Amino acid sequence: MAPLQLSPEEFHTLAQRVTDLSTRYLADLETMRAYPKTSGREVADLFDRPLPQTGEGERAFADLEQVIAHCRPNVPRFYAYVLGAGDPVAALGDYFASILNQNVTAWRSSPAAVAIERSVINWLAQALGCNGFTGTLTAGGSAANLMALAIAREAKLPANEHGVQRKGTIYASTEIHMSIGKAVAMLGIGRDNLRLVPVNSDHTINITNLDRMISDDVRAGYTPIAVLASAGTVNTGAIDDLQQVAAIARKHNAWFHIDGAYGALAAIAVPKKFAGLDLADSLSLDPHKWLYQPVDCGCLLYRDPGHARKAFAYTGDYTKVLNEDPLESFAFFEESMELSRRFRAMKLWLSLRYHGMDSFREAITNDLTLAQHLAKRINGEPGLELLAPVTLSAVCFRYTQAPPERLNQLNAAILKRIIQRGRVFISNATLEGKFALRACIVNQRATQADVEEVVTETLAAARKVCNESS
Ligand SMILES: Cc1ncc(COP(=O)(O)O)c(C=O)c1O
C-alpha cells in the first residue's frame, strides 16, 4: 500500500476507538475534577517525546487516555474565562469537516461549504435582529475584532496602498478586551491612539467623556476611525449603551463596531438588553462561547460587504474568479484576511439544526438565571461580597473577612486553593484595583447545585488559607 493510506476497515476501527473514548469522556464529565491534578513537569515528561521515524500504528491512539487525564475538562462546574462547554453534536460536525477537508476559500473550491457558511451567517444575523448583515466565520473574537478594525481603518483612513498618512484614533472604554489593543498595534494605528474612555459605576462607557474625547481629538487634527462598544465586557459582562454609542459614532463620522464576543449571542434570549445591536457597522460574536461550539468558531458580521472587500480584496492570478454567476463567483477571501479557511460552519449548521434555536435560547436563559442565583447566594453570605452588578453571566465577588489591605493577596490565595481542590474552576478579574474571584457561567451542563458549589468551595478554601496563615 502507498504511504499514509488506510483501508476502510482500518479507518473504521480507529474511528470506533475515538468514538468509544469520547463517549466515555462525556459520560464521566459529571464526576471529573474541574482541573486535572498535573504539573508542568508531568505533562512535559508525558508528551515531549522523540519524533517517531517509523509509525506506531494504533499504539498512538492508546495515549489519548493520557491526553484526557491531563486536559482541563468541560465539567458542569467550569466557570473560568468566557468559554462554552462544547456541544458534542457540533464536535461531530468538526470531525466530519476534517474528513471532508474542504478549503472554504471560495464557491468554486467548495460549493456546499460556502453555501452552508453563508446560510449559517444569515441565521446568526437574523437571530440577533441584524437582518441583512453578512459576514464570515473566524477563528475567534480576536480575529473578528482585528478584521473589523482593518475594515474600519480602510473605510475611514485608507492605508492599504500607501500606508497610514494621517493620525487616526479609536475609542473604547477602559473595560474593552485586550484583543482591541493587539489589533490597533498590528494595524499600525498605535496603542497611543487607542483612547480608553472612563466607565460609569456599572462599568459601561461614559458617553459624555466619549463625546468630549473625540471632539478634542478632532480639534487637534486626528481622524476618528472607529468608536467601539462592548456587548458584554470580559470582566463583568457590562453592556455599553449601544444606541448612545452609535449616535456618537455617527455624529463624528466614525465606524461603529460592537465587540459582542462574550455577550452578543445572549440577545437570542434577552434581546431588550442589547437594543442597538443592529446599529453597528460591524459586530464580533463568538459561537465558541455562548453557542457552546467547540473552539475555533468566531464570527464577524457587517452591514456592508463592500467595505470588507475594500479592506481585503487583493487577488493574485492564481485565485482570480472567472465566473460571472453571482453565487458561484463568491469568494470569502475577498472579505476576509484568510485564504485557506476551515469548514467552521459544518459544526454550527449541524448543532443549530439538531437542537433548534429554542434549545439554545433555553440554555442561555439557564446560564443567566444561574448567574443571578449565584449573585443572590453571595449576597446572602456575610463573608462574601459582590464586586459588580451581574448584567449577564459573569459574577465577580470576593471574600471579605480580613483587613482591607490584605484582601487582594488573600483572594488570590483563595483562588489558587479553589482550583487545587478541583471541585469548581473559576478565574479572576481586577476591578478598581480589587482582586475579584470571577465565575462566568457559559455552560449548558451547569445546574443550580453546581453553581452553589462556587460559594461552598470559596468558603472552604478561605478557611484553609486563613488557618494556614494564622
Ligand atoms: C469581550 C471579548 N472580546 C474578545 C474576546 C476574544 O475572543 P477569542 O478568545 O475568541 O479570540 C473575548 C474573549 O474572552 C471577550 O470576552
Average pLDDT over residues 135-154: 98
* Distances in whole angstroms, Cα of residue 112 to Cα of each of 107, 339, 341: 8, 17, 14
- Asked if pLDDT for residue 321 goes beyond 80, the answer is no
Mutate to test the pocket of ligand 1, among 173, 239, 289, 393 (most ligand atoms within 8 A of CB): 289
User: Roughly what angle, to the nearest 10 degrees, separates helices 141-156 and 178-186?
Assistant: 50
Q: How far apart are CA 196 and CA 23, in angstroms?
A: 47
Question: Is the distance from the beta carbon of residue 141 to the nearest atom of ligand 1 less than 6 Å?
Answer: yes
Residue length of the chain: 470
- Asked if pLDDT for residue 417 goes beyond 90, the answer is yes
- Asked if pLDDT for residue 292 goes beyond 80, the answer is yes
* Distances in whole angstroms, Cα of residue 99 to Cα of each of 94, 95, 104, 452: 9, 6, 14, 41
Question: Is the distance from the beta carbon of residue 392 to the nearest atom of ligand 1 less than 6 Å?
Answer: no
* Distances in whole angstroms, Cα of residue 126 to Cα of each of 89, 256, 301, 313, 430: 22, 19, 11, 26, 35
> Which residue carries 482585528 as its cell?
146
Are the C-beta atoms of 350 and 116 separated by less than 8 Å? no
Give me the pLDDT at residue 302, please: 98
What torsion, rounded to 10 degrees, do the Cα atoms 293, 294, 300, 301 define? Answer: -20
Which atom number of ligand 1 is nearest to the Cα of residue 141? Answer: 7
Closest alpha carbon to 415 in 405, 403, 428: 428
Closest alpha carbon to 258 in 230, 298, 236: 230
Q: How far apart are CA 291 and CA 265, in angstroms?
A: 7
Give me the pLDDT at residue 387, please: 98
Which atom number of ligand 1 is nearest to the Cα of residue 295? Answer: 10
319 pLDDT tier (thresholds 50, 70, 90): low
Q: How many CA atoms lie within 13 A of 394 on its CB side?
A: 29
Which tens digit of pLDDT belongs to each residue from 347-359?
Answer: 999 999 999 999 9
Question: Is the distance from the beta carbon of residue 142 to the nearest atom of ligand 1 less than 6 Å?
Answer: yes
Q: What is the Å distance from ligand 1's center to 95 Cα? A: 24
Average pLDDT over residues 213-231: 98
Q: Burial code of 271-285, b = ≥16 C-beta within 10 A, e = fewer?
A: eebbebbbbbbbbbb
Give me the pLDDT at residue 395, please: 98
Most distant pair of Cα atoms in the chain: their distance: 77
Q: What is the Å distance from ligand 1's center to 300 Cα? A: 12
Closest alpha carbon to 139 in 340, 304, 316, 325: 340
Q: How far apart are CA 394 and CA 338, in angstroms?
A: 32
* Distances in whole angstroms, Cα of residue 254 to Cα of each of 156, 213, 285, 296, 442: 7, 13, 21, 30, 33
- Asked if pLDDT for residue 317 goes beyond 80, the answer is no
Mutate to test the pocket of ligand 1, among 83, 173, 179, 205 (most ligand atoms within 8 A of CB): 179
Report the nearest-CA residue for atom 5 of ligand 1.
141
Domain spans in the chain, listed from the N-terminal domain onward:
93-355, 357-469
Q: What is the Å distance from ligand 1's center to 141 Cα? A: 5
* 434-440 and 194-197 beta bridge pairing: unpaired
Q: How far apart are CA 43 and CA 47, in angstroms?
A: 6
Average pLDDT over residues 86-111: 97
Question: Is the distance from the beta carbon of residue 180 to the nearest atom of ligand 1 less than 6 Å?
Answer: no
- Asked if pLDDT for residue 114 goes beyond 70, the answer is yes
- Percent share of the chain, pLDDT over 70: 99
Question: Is the distance from the beta carbon of residue 259 to the nearest atom of ligand 1 less than 6 Å?
Answer: yes
Which atom number of ligand 1 is nearest to the Cα of residue 288? Answer: 10
Give me the pLDDT at residue 323, please: 79
Average pLDDT over residues 415-426: 97
Which atom number of ligand 1 is nearest to the Cα of residue 234? Answer: 16
- Asked if pLDDT for residue 53 goes beyond 90, the answer is yes
Indicate the pTM of the whole model. 0.97
DSSP 71: S
Q: What is the Å distance from ligand 1's center to 405 Cα? A: 32
> With respect to CATH, is domain 357-469 assigned 3.90.1150.170?
yes
Give me the pLDDT at residue 177, please: 98
Give me the pLDDT at residue 242, please: 98
One-character DSSP codes across 290-354: HT-PPSS-EEEEES-HHHHHHHH----GGG-----STTTT-BGGGSSS-SS---THHHHHHHHHH
Identify the CATH assignment for 93-355 out of 3.40.50.1370, 3.40.1360.10, 3.40.640.10, 3.40.50.620.
3.40.640.10
Question: Is the distance from the beta carbon of residue 235 to the nearest atom of ligand 1 less than 6 Å?
Answer: no
Q: What is the Å distance from ligand 1's center to 232 Cα? A: 10
Which cell goes with 177?
478586551
User: Roughly what angle, to the nearest 10 degrees, separates helices 8-28 and 88-100?
Assistant: 160
Question: Is the distance from the beta carbon of residue 179 to the nearest atom of ligand 1 less than 6 Å?
Answer: yes
> Which residue carries 476591578 as its cell?
431
Question: Is the distance from the beta carbon of residue 234 to the nearest atom of ligand 1 less than 6 Å?
Answer: yes
- Asked if pLDDT for residue 414 goes beyond 70, the answer is yes
Give me the pLDDT at residue 408, please: 98
Q: Which contiguous run of DSSP H or E holds residue 143?
A: helix 141-156
Please list the residues that pair with 428 across neighbouring strands. 437
Which tens digit of pLDDT belongs to each residue from 383-412?
Answer: 999 999 999 999 999 999 999 999 999 999
**First-residue to last-residue Cα distance in the chain:** 69
- Asked if pLDDT for residue 16 goes beyond 90, the answer is yes
Which atom number of ligand 1 is nearest to the Cα of residue 176? Answer: 1
